[in-house]
Amino acid sequence: MAKWDKNTFIQKAKINCEPHISNIVLDLVKFAETGADIVQWGKGEGHGTMRYKCKTDDYGVLPLFEVTTNGQINFLLNALRAKVRKKEILRDY
């Protein structure tokens, strides 16, 4: 599987995760579709990723979190630190 999309991501998450975890992953996918400016699907072979990105006036496009088909959520704090220098914003995040 060379590239992921919504359908393949959800199918793999349902296979890899327990039902209550896959329901949370599905809710996060729905949240990203409605709230994100950009939803980016991974290109990896082992497991799929979905990345939530938003556009800002001051900092450009910022990736905020990603979810894997293994049910993990990663908050992309280092990517945020690279663009945002205000400690108040980072602390709130």
pLDDT at 2 over 70: no
Lookup result for tokens 């990663």: 74
Closest CA to 83 of 59, 61, 63: 59
Q: What are phi and psi of 26, to 5 degrees?
A: -60, -40
3-state secondary structure of 31: helix
Amino acid at 19: P
Q: Which pLDDT value is given to residue 36?
A: 93
Compute the average pLDDT of residues 56-65: 88
> Rounded to two decimals, what is the model's pTM?
0.83
pLDDT given at position 31: 95
What are residue 59's phi and psi, to 5 degrees?
-120, 5
